[in-house]
Amino acid sequence: SKLRVGLLFGGRSGEHEVSISSARAIALALSSEENANKYEILPFYIQKDGRWLAGDVPQQVLTSGVALTTLAAISKLWQFPAQTQEVDVWFPILHGPNGEDGTIQGLLSLMQVPFVGSGVLGSAMGMDKIAMKMAFAQAGLAQVKYLTLTRAQIWSNPCVFPKLCDQIEATLGYPCFVKPANLGSSVGIAKVRSSSELEAALDNAASYDRRIIVETGVVAREVECAVFGNDQPQASVVGEITFESDFYDYETKYTQGQADLLIPAQLPDSVMRQIQDMALQAFAAVDAAGLARVDFFYVEATGEILINEINTFPGFTATSMYPQLWAKSGIPFTELVDRLIQLALERTQKSE
Ligand code: ADP
Ligand code: MG
Ligand code: MG
C-alpha cells in the first residue's frame, strides 16, 4: 500500500506564501509518474492564525496557490484535524519561525511519526543566527565579525544605548548589517552606512526579535551550496546569486526578475571544493538532517570564504536554488523529493 505523506504548509511566519509555492511544487513531484505509485498526499494547511485544516480547503490552496485570507475567529482551543492520525511520514514545508525553527519538529517528534528534514536541535540552531554562528565558530569556520545585543538593551536603557552604538562603531565599523536573530527572507535586516542610521535600524530589528545581531558588512559574491543526507551528507555544486540592488533584501528575493541564479558558479575548482567542505562541516555543526542550504560570502579580492548562514528548509519551488543545485548535480526534483522522504524514514529507524 502507499505511504501517506502529510504535507504541512502555510504557517504563521511571514513566509506563508513562499511555503504555499514550495508545497505546490512538492505535491506535483509526489504526484509524478515515478512517485504516484509510492505515495498518497494528505495536505494540511496551517492558516495564518495557526489553525490546521485538513481535507478540501488545503487541496484548494494547493491547486490555486492562493493563501486563505478569511480566517475563522481565532481560538486557542482548536484541535488537530483527525486526519493527522493517518499520516505515515510528515513533510513540513514551512519556512521561518514556527515551522523551520524546531517548534513543529518538536510536535512531530512527540507524535512519533517520521518527518523530513532536521530535528528540534538542528532546526532551532539553523534558525537562530547567534546560536548558528557560535556553532560555526566552534567548528573553525571563518565568518564575519559580529556583536550580539538584546531588545532590552536597545529599548529600555537610554544611558546604555549611546555606549552600545559606540561599541558597534569601534568594533564593526560601517557599513554594518543589523538583523533580528530569528528570522529569514531578509525581514527586519538593514544595511547601516553611518551612525545616523544605526538607531533606527536597531529599533526596527528589535521590533521583530528579542535578540539582535550586528555584523561587519563585506563586499563579496554570494554563493550557496546544497547539502543532502543524514550521517553521510553530500554537497552539491555551488551556485551564485547575482542582483542589482544594494543587498539581497526581501524585494530582491521575491520580485520576479530581480535576482539571477548562476549554476554552477564560475569559481576556481579549489574554491568550489572548499565551499562544499565548509557546507558539510556547517551541516554537522548545527546537527542538521535531510537537507539544508548553506550560504557563503566569497570575497574575491582576498580569496576569503566566509560562511553566512544555514537554512534548514530553503525555498523549494522548481526554480529555487536548492532543487536547482541538485538538478545540476544529477538529482532531478521528483527523485529529490522521494529521497528526502526515504531519509526521514531511515533517520527514525536509526534513532530507535
Ligand atoms: P536571511 O536569513 O534573512 O536570508 P541573511 O543573513 O542571509 O538573512 O542576510 C540577507 C542578505 O543581506 C544577504 O543575502 C546579503 O545580501 C546581505 N548581508 C547580510 N549580512 C551581510 C554582511 N555581513 N555583509 C554583506 N552583506 C550582508
Ligand atoms: Mg536565512
Ligand atoms: Mg540568507
Nearest atom in ligand 1 to the alpha carbon of residue 144 is: 23
Nearest atom in ligand 1 to the alpha carbon of residue 216 is: 23
Ligand 3 center from residue 57 Cα (angstroms): 32
The pLDDT tens digits along the chain (352 residues) read 999 999 999 998 888 999 999 999 999 999 999 999 999 999 999 998 888 999 888 999 999 998 887 555 444 556 788 899 999 999 999 998 899 999 999 999 999 999 999 999 999 999 999 999 999 999 999 999 999 999 999 987 677 778 888 899 999 999 999 999 998 899 999 999 999 999 999 999 999 999 999 999 999 999 999 999 999 999 999 999 999 999 999 999 988 899 999 999 999 999 999 999 999 999 999 999 999 999 999 999 999 999 999 999 999 998 899 999 999 999 999 999 999 999 999 987 655 4
298 CB burial (10 A radius; 0-12, 13-18, 19+): buried
Ligand 3 center from residue 67 Cα (angstroms): 24
Ligand 2 center from residue 129 Cα (angstroms): 8
> What is the pLDDT, as a whole number, of residue 68?
81
For 117-133, letters b (16+ CB in 10 Å) and e give bbbbebbbbbbbbbbbb
Test site for ligand 1: of 13, 128, 148, 189, most ligand atoms within 8 A of the Cβ: 189
**What is the C-alpha separation between 49 and 66, in angstroms, rounded?**
16
DSSP string, 184-226: -TTTT-EEE-SHHHHHHHHHHHHTT-SEEEEEE----EEEEEE
> Which residue, by CA, sits nearest to atom 20 of ligand 1?
177
- Per DSSP, helices labelled H in 114-268 are 120-127, 129-138, 151-155, 160-172, 195-206, 250-254
The letter for the amino acid at 33 is: E
What is the three-class DSSP state of 309?
strand
Q: What is the arrangement of strands in the sheet containing 39-46, beginning at the earlier edge strand?
A: 52-54, 39-46, 3-10, 89-92
> What is the pLDDT, as a whole number, of residue 73?
47
Determine which helix (DSSP H) or strand (DSSP E) holds 283, and give its type and residue range. Answer: helix 269-285
**What is the C-alpha separation between 174 and 194, in angstroms, rounded?**
6
Ligand 2 center from residue 33 Cα (angstroms): 33
Ligand number nearest CA of 172 is 1
Ligand 1 center from residue 248 Cα (angstroms): 7
- Phi, psi angles (nearest 5°) of residue 241: -110, 130
> Which residue, by CA, sits nearest to atom 27 of ligand 1?
217
Ligand number nearest CA of 249 is 1
* Block residue for cell numbers 528526502: 340
Ligand 1 center from residue 296 Cα (angstroms): 9
> What is the pLDDT, as a whole number, of residue 15?
87
Residues with C-beta less than 6 Å from any ligand 1 atom: 144, 177, 179, 183-186, 189, 215, 217-218, 222, 247-248, 295, 308-309
Test site for ligand 1: of 177, 212, 300, most ligand atoms within 8 A of the Cβ: 177
> What is the pLDDT, as a whole number, of residue 55?
87
> What is the pLDDT, as a whole number, of residue 74?
47
> What is the pLDDT, as a whole number, of residue 179?
97
Ligand 2 center from residue 324 Cα (angstroms): 18
**What is the C-alpha separation between 70 and 21, in angstroms, rounded?**
19
**What is the C-alpha separation between 20 and 230, in angstroms, rounded?**
26
Nearest atom in ligand 1 to the alpha carbon of residue 241 is: 14
**Residue 82 CB neighbour total at 10 angstroms:** 9
What is the three-class DSSP state of 18?
helix
Instruction: Count CA atoms within 13 Å of residue 224 on its CB side.
Output: 24
**Residue 188 CB neighbour total at 10 angstroms:** 22
> What is the pLDDT, as a whole number, of residue 318?
87
> What is the pLDDT, as a whole number, of residue 70?
58
* Block residue for cell numbers 513533510: 91
Helix axes 195-206, 160-172, angle to 10 degrees: 110
> Which residue, by CA, sits nearest to atom 5 of ligand 1?
186
Q: Rounded to whole angstroms, what are the CA distances from 115 to 33, 235, 257?
A: 23, 21, 34
Ligand number nearest CA of 313 is 2
What is the three-class DSSP state of 133?
helix
Q: Say whether the ipTM exceeds 0.90.
A: yes
**What is the C-alpha separation between 274 and 220, in angstroms, rounded?**
16
